[in-house]
Chains A and B, each alone.
Chain A
Amino acid sequence: MANILLTNKCIRECPYCFAGREMAQSEGQDFLSWENAVYLADFLTASGERRVSLLGGEPSLHPEFVDITLYFVARGFDVNVFTSAIMSSARLETLARHVAAAPAERLNFVCNLNDPEQTPTTASEREQVEAFLARLGAWTMPAFNIYRPDFRLEFLFGLVERFGLRKRLRLGITHPIAGAGNAWIRAGEIGAVIERLCSYRHAFEAALIRPSFDCGFPLCRVVDADLGWLTRLGASTNFKCRPAIDITPDMEVYCCFPLSFLDRRSVFEFDSFRQIVEHYRKLQERVRTEIAGIYDECGSCIHRSEATCAGGGVCHIVNRLAAEAPATLKKIADDQACLS
């Protein structure tokens, strides 16, 4: 699925932000143009893609956010919008009024929610988030980024119940962005994080909420009992790390935010979305020829060789190479630049 960045601007400064470096260094145009929106809709349609994610920055900052969102729905895409839900009451009112006419099964807001105590924010922002959830809860899937081992999920269960959110919780382990200094979960902490996550099993079961793993969870750090519980609950487990394919407002494309400094291309260089995915899959493979995975044992792991597990996120490996072997990283970038 393509991730289309409607804008590079964001309203928040989350300590774990994957996109912070990309946002800070962006020199391109601020907002996706209509010409490019139509081009991308055509490009993805011709490639057989029927799903698209709209994100940012904060996508709702795009002056025509509502219009572009409805446009992709009108073009027959299933649309995920990743949002902080922080927006003015006027913008929320406009959004809610027009979204009401869109088919609920085709439009989904993925709302990144931060723990109000562990990641403090202003009262005004909290009010805006709650106002969003009150109006658009039925279209909204909660999402939570785990960036500290002592994370807490209690507030999320409360929000799902209170605002009637969709009963699937998107969970991401935060990853390192080389040189960005963002907060992230170290490889050695992931086991404890997963254990803590599974300690909420009764709360998940009571609320009938199914976890949905984002990329980079390593299979070996989930014990069999928890794996069984997740399966029975209908969780969407994911132990892969595939190219996310992020497309910027000025039509640059890269593998994912953490790898955005490696091999940026223009969408116009490619004939199909599949070609883009294949291009960045090769980049990931190339990185993994240097270091197989985030743990020493990844190199000999049957689950990695059988592709059941990716061996954690490639971004961890890139981060390590950036610190320990920058020349190797440069060689990878140079090799990749030779690919056409």
Chain B
Amino acid sequence: MTRLVCPEVLIDRLEGRSLCVRVDSPDRIVEAADRARRRSPWTCVICDSAVPLDEINPEETWRGIAIALMAPSIGRFRNLASRLELLRGLGLRVFLPGEGENLAAARLLASVGISVTVTFDGSADWEALADLMTYALIGPVRHAPVEPFETMAACYRSAARGEDWGRAWFDDPSRYLHLDAAGRVALTRRELLDGRFVADGISNLDSDEVKEAVEARNQAWRELFAQDHVCARCASWRICGARFAASAPDGCAAFFDETTQIIERRRRTGPARSWQP
């Protein structure tokens, strides 16, 4: 079933749908979850926070709610140290922009048992990302999952084109559609922010035009071959799915090649098993 990433204001209009409710403040998490839970096979709350993780006070009432907390950074560890037990006990995943100090912060969070996701685009620091990916997949000590690398590993097929790992970012049109407050439908969060919609209202959610747009997106990779795009000739294409083809990035091929090798290695050796608090 396709999940709808929607603002809180649409909950009542999407009864019966599987929802990822987007709120703009941690204060809204509990109420949004309660409302969604009453009306739909609700999935999670996505919270866009303008402040670092250490300035957010997690609450006991968050227990039992799947929360994707998007923060600009983690802030200072000293402010998190006394909250780690609570944070670990919540269904919380922290999303960080995958740049600068956030890459070290992602490793730090995972190492103390907090699930984390880094987001990046074609302009990423691929070498730094490769370090984090290596830690995520074959680090010597067991830690919380670091996405999207776990999803990359799960989606990778050694002998075929893998599945779309963008779902780790809610960015996979076959699984997630994004709605704005007016109910307009976009295939990705980026396209929603850019005003590129495939349907102009909730009433068209199940229309053929949306289905066709999703299918066209799922098959878009074929066009790269027809165009003889550089991504179509890249050995790492099977894992990246040409996700960054539009931005013609430099360095992604080496990153995904290394990721492939690490995934293969992990499949041979298994995950780390050392003790971890």
Task: Show the binding face of A for B, using Cβ within 8 Å.
Answer: 33-35, 37-38, 41-43, 45-46, 64, 66-68, 70-71, 73-76, 94, 98, 101-102
Contact = CB atoms under 8 A, between A and B. Distances in A.
A98 B83 CA distance: 12
B112 A71 contact: yes
Contacts of A37: 108
B35 to A, nearest CB: 35
A42 B139 contact: yes
B107 interface: yes
The 6 closest A-B pairs by CB, nearest first: A67-B77, A70-B81, A76-B277, A34-B104, A46-B140, A101-B82
B78 A43 contact: no
A249 B101 CA distance: 17
Interface string B59-100: 000000000000000001110011010000000000000000
Contacts of B277: 74-76
- Secondary structure class of chain A's binding surface, majority of residues: helix
Contacts of A33: 104
Given A34-B108, A38-B104, A98 B140 contact: no
B277 to A, nearest CB: 4
30 contacts: A34-B104, A34-B105, A34-B108, A35-B104, A35-B107, A37-B108, A38-B104, A38-B107, A41-B141, A42-B140, A43-B140, A46-B272, A64-B76, A66-B78, A67-B76, A67-B77, A67-B78, A67-B81, A68-B77, A70-B77, A71-B108, A71-B112, A74-B277, A75-B111, A75-B112, A75-B277, A94-B78, A98-B78, A101-B81, A102-B81
Nearest to B110: A38
A102 B78 CA distance: 11
Interface of B: 76-78, 81-82, 84, 101, 104-105, 107-108, 111-112, 131, 135, 139-141, 272, 274-277
B104 A71 contact: no
B116 to A, nearest CB: 12
Given A66-B78, A67-B76, A94-B78, A42 B141 contact: yes
A294 B222 CA distance: 77
Nearest to B107: A38
A113 B215 CA distance: 72
A45 B104 contact: no
Nearest to A95: B78
A45 B141 contact: yes
Given A35-B107, A70-B81, A74-B81, A45 B76 contact: no
